[in-house]
Amino acid sequence: MTELCKDLVLLPLGGTGEIGMNLYLYGWGRQEDRRWLMVDCGVMFGDERTPGVEVILPDPAFIEERRGRLDAILVTHAHEDHIGAIPWLAWRLEAPVYATPFAAILIRQKLVEAGWEDEVELKEVTPGEKLTFGEMAVEYIPVTHSLPEPNSLAIFTPAGTVIHTGDFKIDESPVIPPEFSFGRLRELGDAGVEVLVCDSTNAGKEGRSPSETEVRQTLERLISEAPGRVAVTTFSSHVGRIKVISEAARAAGREVVVAGFAMRRVIEAAREVGLLNSGHSFLDEEAFGYLPREKVVLLCTGSQGEARAALSRIADDVHPRIALERGDMVIFSSFTIPGNEKAVGSVMNRLAALGVDVIVNSPELLVHTSGHPRREELGTYYDLVRPKRLVPMHGEMIHMLKHAEFARSRGIEDVLLPQDGRMMRIVPGPLEVVEEVRSGQLHVDGRLVVPGDKGPVRARRKLSFVGIVVISVALDSKGNVRGPAQIITEGLPEKTLEDEYFEDLLLDAADDALDQMSRARRRIDEAVIETLRLAVRRAAAAEWGKKPIVHVIVQRV
């Protein structure tokens, strides 16, 4: 009877309803003393909605308050949306981080850069290894994805087994190991799987994702037939794609020049784990200047339009060592992450203005394939493990809704859509929400981590729409005005429709409001501040149609 009081809950703090920021908590035990495992700890990247913020973290407050009961942080693979928050958060959680060798190398580099390498215990896991944490155990199960050593996790509890797929696709001819673990997943299905917590990113797409081998064939042809330089931009973590580009360049008698720190770092990590051997030669940026045009393949960062990445600087013709010209080719061997469309389109247009031939993925020219499963691959995974219940994860709401629809069409009736901050009982069944907890975002703002909802970004967004006005007035202790008001504006028009300077208009409004105040009220700073603030905002709205942010400084002299 005591055992029946225990259950397994799933609490996502990131990764459901968004692309990125993956952080999933599995808790086993009675409500008052559950032991926890964290699966992944990733970031999401900022956009125009988060001015000044490039990196967004999941808010770990719930598990930070329970860090004494957190046994491990388990990493499924090395993409930024799964490991990027570890340098910022892991030291606060005081739990060891488990990762396979390739991911461990990249995590260790991040910890060193952040200065937390001595504060976070990093443990390497062999793919296929089984770890035990009290009454829970976890097995790393190799799958295929778009980088080395991706894994599903089988989570074993006394009440049943749950499989967390991580990011995967089913590629039967991958260009780098591992191969997909059909046999082991079938064995787990034979033994019984209660719940599948499954990748939803491509759940609305029919068929299956093309193999990396098909992309290889297109890249080999483009590189061999190109008359000038060929630049290829892809995700820096995509070791399989890097390997294919290197081999295609060598077959065409070309050299590979690497531009971008992140790309070089991944290449070194891939060498360290034996995925790139001495036959894969990569030259530094300095080699670009002396190689003949027809001998160059440039491998560079910037597939998402990042302003400081190599490709963006090349498109602006401001890179110190690399330039492209008419007759050269740039291949975007990547997909555009939602939210980056404008930035990527801008880079493409700037390259086109230089006369560069821009190649993007299409059915006719397959230069990229997703690392996530379409419906046929989801169905294959279902058939292998035969889950009783299903929780869609890793995707925006539309992706998870499509996944739920597909699962029900395949006979899985008990499907529950997760949401960040909603704790779900998943074993024993049926699936149900049992609690709602604090969740949200933290922003990496420069070198600081600040709240996402009530932090400085909220004010910056408003400033970007309406600007700011600062009014300074000098009064004595009796409420007499001791000098003309001073004004500073940022982000406001220079002149009105009547060609009057906007600052003069607002100063007149402030002076008039001050004149109309009694001397007694002018002795009260708060009264002066609020009166002038409202007067200036009203004047701006009447002339401009917008109300700026207004700050009033009262100086007593």
Q: Is the pLDDT of residue 342 over 70?
A: yes
pLDDT of residue 414: 98
Strand ordering across the sheet containing 486-490: 486-490, 468-475, 549-556
Q: Is the pLDDT of residue 513 over 90?
A: yes
Token representation of residue 48:
């125009």
Q: How many CB atoms lie within 10 A of CB 169?
A: 26
Tens of pLDDT along 1-54? 345 589 999 999 999 999 899 999 999 999 889 999 999 999 998 888 888 898
Residue after which a domain boundary falls, among 336, 359, 382: 359
In a domain, 459, yes or no: no
Residue 455 binned pLDDT confidence (cut-offs 50, 70, 90): confident
Q: How far apart are CA 380 and CA 376, in angstroms?
A: 6
In a domain, 317, yes or no: yes
Three-state secondary structure along 175-230?
A: CCCCCCCHHHHHHHHHHCCCEEEEECCCCCCCCCCCCHHHHHHHHHHHHHHCCCCE
One domain, residues 179 and 107: yes
Count of structural domains, the chain: 3
Distance in Å from the first CA to the final CA of the chain: 77
Closest CA to 469 of 517, 417, 398, 538: 538
Q: Is 88 helix (H, G, I), strand (E, B) or coil?
A: helix
Chain-centre distance for alpha carbon 243: 24
- Among 130-134, 406-410, 465-469, the minimum mean pLDDT is found in 465-469
Query: Domain range spanning residue 288?
Result: 212-359
Chain-centre distance for alpha carbon 476: 54
One domain, residues 265 and 236: yes
One domain, residues 324 and 385: no
Question: Which secondary-structure segment (H or E) carries 136?
Answer: strand 136-142
Query: Chain-wide mean pLDDT for the chain?
Result: 95
One domain, residues 61 and 198: yes
One domain, residues 193 and 111: yes
- The dihedral built from the CA positions of residue 125, 102, 336 and 440, taken in this order, carries a sign that is positive
One domain, residues 316 and 382: no
In a domain, 265, yes or no: yes
| Alpha helices for 386-442 (secondary structure H) | 397-409
Q: How far apart are CA 42 and CA 60, in angstroms?
A: 11
* Residue 316 exposure: Cα atoms within 13 Å on the Cβ side: 15
Tens of pLDDT along 352-363? 999 999 999 999
pLDDT of residue 2: 42
pLDDT of residue 542: 95
Residue after which a domain boundary falls, among 421, 451, 481: 451
Sequence length of the chain is: 557
Three-state secondary structure along 430-447?
A: CCEEEEECCCCEEEEECC
In a domain, 290, yes or no: yes
In a domain, 165, yes or no: yes
Residue after which a domain boundary falls, among 295, 329, 359: 359
Tens of pLDDT along 381-396? 999 999 999 999 999 9
pLDDT mean over 74-82: 97
In a domain, 462, yes or no: no
Peptide bond into 178 cis (omega under 30): yes
Beta bridge pairs of residue 363: none
One domain, residues 398 and 446: yes
Write the single-letter amino acid at 149. E
Q: Write the CATH number for 340.
A: 3.40.50.10710
One domain, residues 300 and 385: no
**Residue whose pair of structure tokens reads 């009796």 in the numeric block:** 478
One domain, residues 375 and 354: no
In a domain, 365, yes or no: no
Q: Is the pLDDT of residue 484 over 90?
A: no
Asked if 443 and 426 count as a contact pair (C-beta separation under 8 A), the reply is no
Q: Percentage of the chain surpassing pLDDT 70? A: 99
Residue 442 binned pLDDT confidence (cut-offs 50, 70, 90): very high
One domain, residues 285 and 434: no
pLDDT of residue 81: 96
**pTM score:** 0.91
List the Cα angle 192/170/128 in 5-degree steps: 55
One domain, residues 387 and 321: no
Closest CA to 367 of 339, 324, 313, 329: 329
One domain, residues 9 and 146: yes
Q: How does DSSP classify residue 173?
A: S
Q: Write the CATH number for 494.
A: 3.10.20.580
Q: Write the CATH number for 173.
A: 3.60.15.10
Q: Is 61 helix (H, G, I), strand (E, B) or coil?
A: helix
